[in-house]
């Protein structure tokens, strides 16, 4: 222990005497560790941000549809449609004290107009009930939600997305200015009662921004494609309750669809958080690439460190000879150079961890993921620094320990 402490003391003294060389070497190590910790911190921050975002945008919900989750050649694209009566029966019998929303796709290519201005013919019209906004995690920036009376009596009221508002009322129009105005959707007149909060673009689609919501009964009257084929959306109280809620929904839906125990499901239940899982899988691939880049950087740092340590041995040949003449053993010389290499790596590693955490959390803050620290990789970085120091310093240290003291003292370097 005393020898180790003395070697560490001598190592720091040597680094102090050769500040520039030590700084350059430590910087090379720091770059590699910054890449490793920075990338992995960013990945963790993105994962947290995805979880938070998907919780906001429906990660606690699941959908029941007639669409197959996997399309196969030679098989029908969909099961038999879920009728409106079946959906209402599910809604009335699902006794779990959580919101159940019904919706139906009325049109994929509608056009809306008001006050002489007409939108592009690419708007989606969705017939919904009063629970749809809550179950699907839509927020209103102005106006109000549908009432049960409006839904049950098929009243001509509508809620539009921000893109629809800008197309037919102008980009400078405020959302609260259009509440109560009349719009025409494919020739049918509706009164505006709300505007959806902007969700932004994702993968080239503006999602809810190009969406028009009308009451489900009114949609079934005005749009021939909205008679049946209802989608049921269920919002769980928490992510932990999802599995139990899905099991209960599956059992009830099988009864409503009159399926025998040996029959396969003629409907599909899709968890909304599966989107988040897919995104996290993609991030894990990015994480693997980041680790590979960091390893390559650290290998380059190890080669540079070895080269610098070899130069150090050459420059300090006379010092090594003097120490040997005074009684230093070959193992003591070797240990001194190994400790120097490890100390340089640890200094660079600590600097890299600090910079990596800073850069990674800048990404996290930009995404709203909060502070993240990948503790496992931080500890692994310190271990890797010791390993790099040992590997890079071993050959120069052995070379230094084998120098002949007489020849070393005669060295003119």
* Higher pLDDT among residues 266 and 395, named by residue: 266
Q: What is the dihedral of CA 21, 25, 26, 28, to 10 degrees?
A: 140
Q: Band of the pLDDT at 70, cuts 50, 70, 90?
A: very low
Q: Band of the pLDDT at 161, cuts 50, 70, 90?
A: very high
Question: For residue 80, what pLDDT is reported?
Answer: 87
Alpha carbon distance 358, 46 (integer Å): 15
Question: For residue 327, what pLDDT is reported?
Answer: 74
- At residue 298, does pLDDT exceed 80? no
Question: For residue 255, what pLDDT is reported?
Answer: 95
Alpha carbon distance 162, 345 (integer Å): 54
Alpha carbon distance 127, 114 (integer Å): 20
Q: Band of the pLDDT at 14, cuts 50, 70, 90?
A: low
Q: Percent of the chain, pLDDT > 90?
A: 31
Question: For residue 36, what pLDDT is reported?
Answer: 78
Strands 61-65 and 231-235: antiparallel
Q: Band of the pLDDT at 276, cuts 50, 70, 90?
A: low
Instruction: Check if the beta carbon of residue 198 is closer than 8 Å to that of residue 209.
Output: yes
CA atoms within 13 A on the CB side of 73: 0
Instruction: Check if the beta carbon of residue 160 is closer than 8 Å to that of residue 146.
Output: no
Which pair of structure tokens corresponds to residue 120? Answer: 């592009």
Helix axes 317-325, 330-367, angle to 10 degrees: 130
Strands 188-196 and 140-143: antiparallel
Question: For residue 60, what pLDDT is reported?
Answer: 77
**Eight-state DSSP code of residue 185:** E
pLDDT digits (tens, 9 = 90+) for 212-235: 999 999 999 999 888 778 999 998
Strands 182-185 and 112-114: antiparallel
Alpha carbon distance 172, 40 (integer Å): 42
- At residue 309, does pLDDT exceed 60? yes
Best mean pLDDT range from 81-95, 294-308, 362-376: 81-95
Which pair of structure tokens corresponds to residue 179? Answer: 């509440």
3-class secondary structure, 24? helix
Question: For residue 8, what pLDDT is reported?
Answer: 66
Alpha carbon distance 335, 338 (integer Å): 5
Entry pTM: 0.56
Read out DSSP for 150-168? Answer: HHHTT--EEEE-HHHHHHH
Question: For residue 405, what pLDDT is reported?
Answer: 65
Q: Which residues have a Cβ under 8 Å from the Cβ of 36 and sit 6 or more positions away?
A: 290, 291, 294, 295, 297, 298, 352, 356, 377, 381, 384
- At residue 196, does pLDDT exceed 90? yes
Mean pLDDT of 62-88: 73
Best mean pLDDT range from 186-195, 224-233, 316-325, 351-360: 186-195
Mean pLDDT of 227-251: 87
pLDDT digits (tens, 9 = 90+) for 333-374: 777 777 878 888 888 888 888 988 888 888 777 766 667 787
Which pair of structure tokens corresponds to residue 229? Answer: 């084929």
- At residue 77, does pLDDT exceed 60? no
Question: For residue 341, what pLDDT is reported?
Answer: 80
- At residue 68, does pLDDT exceed 70? no
Instruction: Check if the beta carbon of residue 140 is closer than 8 Å to that of residue 146.
Output: no
Strands 123-128 and 140-143: unpaired
Alpha carbon distance 388, 382 (integer Å): 10
């Amino acid at each position: 222990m005393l020898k180790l402490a003395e070697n560490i003391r001598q190592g720091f003294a040597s680094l102090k005497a050769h500040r520039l060389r030590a700084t350059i070497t430590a910087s090379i190590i720091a770059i590699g560790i910054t890449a490793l910790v920075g990338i992995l911190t960013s990945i963790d921050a993105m994962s947290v941000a995805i979880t938070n975002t998907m919780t906001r945008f429906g990660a606690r919900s699941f959908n029941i549809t007639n669409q197959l989750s996997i399309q196969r050649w030679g098989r029908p694209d969909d099961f038999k449609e879920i009728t409106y009566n079946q959906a209402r029966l599910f809604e009335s019998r699902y006794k779990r004290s959580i919101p159940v929303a019904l919706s139906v796709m009325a049109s994929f290519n509608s056009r809306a107009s008001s006050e002489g201005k007409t939108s592009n013919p690419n708007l989606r019209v969705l017939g919904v009930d009063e629970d749809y906004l809550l179950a699907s995690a839509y927020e209103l920036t102005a106006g109000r939600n549908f009432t049960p009376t409006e839904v049950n009596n098929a009243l001509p009221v509508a809620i539009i997305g921000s893109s629809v508002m800008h197309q037919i009322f102008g980009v400078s129009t405020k959302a609260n200015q259009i509440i109560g105005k009349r719009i025409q959707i494919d020739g049918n007149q509706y009164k505006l009662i709300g505007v959806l909060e902007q969700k932004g673009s994702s993968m080239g689609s503006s999602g809810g921004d190009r969406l028009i919501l009308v009451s489900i009964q009114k949609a079934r009257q005005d749009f021939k494609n909205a008679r049946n084929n209802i989608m049921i959306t269920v919002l769980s109280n928490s992510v932990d309750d999802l599995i139990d809620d899905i099991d209960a929904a599956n059992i009830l839906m099988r009864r409503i669809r009159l399926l025998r125990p040996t029959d396969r499901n003629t409907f599909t239940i899709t968890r909304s958080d599966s989107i988040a899982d897919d995104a996290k899988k993609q991030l894990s691939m990015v994480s693997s690439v980041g680790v590979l880049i960091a390893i390559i950087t650290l290998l380059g740092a190890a080669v540079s460190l070895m080269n610098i340590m070899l130069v150090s041995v050459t420059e300090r040949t006379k010092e090594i000879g003097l120490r040997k003449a005074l009684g230093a053993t070959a193992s003591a010389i070797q240990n001194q150079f190994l400790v120097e290499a490890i100390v340089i790596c640890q200094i660079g590693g600590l600097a890299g961890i600090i910079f990596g955490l800073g850069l990674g959390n800048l990404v996290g803050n930009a995404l709203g993921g909060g502070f993240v620290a990948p503790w496992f990789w931080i500890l692994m970085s310190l271990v890797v620094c010791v390993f790099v120091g040992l590997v890079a310093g071993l050959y120069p240290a052995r070379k230094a320990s084998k120098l002949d003291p007489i020849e070393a003292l005669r060295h003119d370097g």
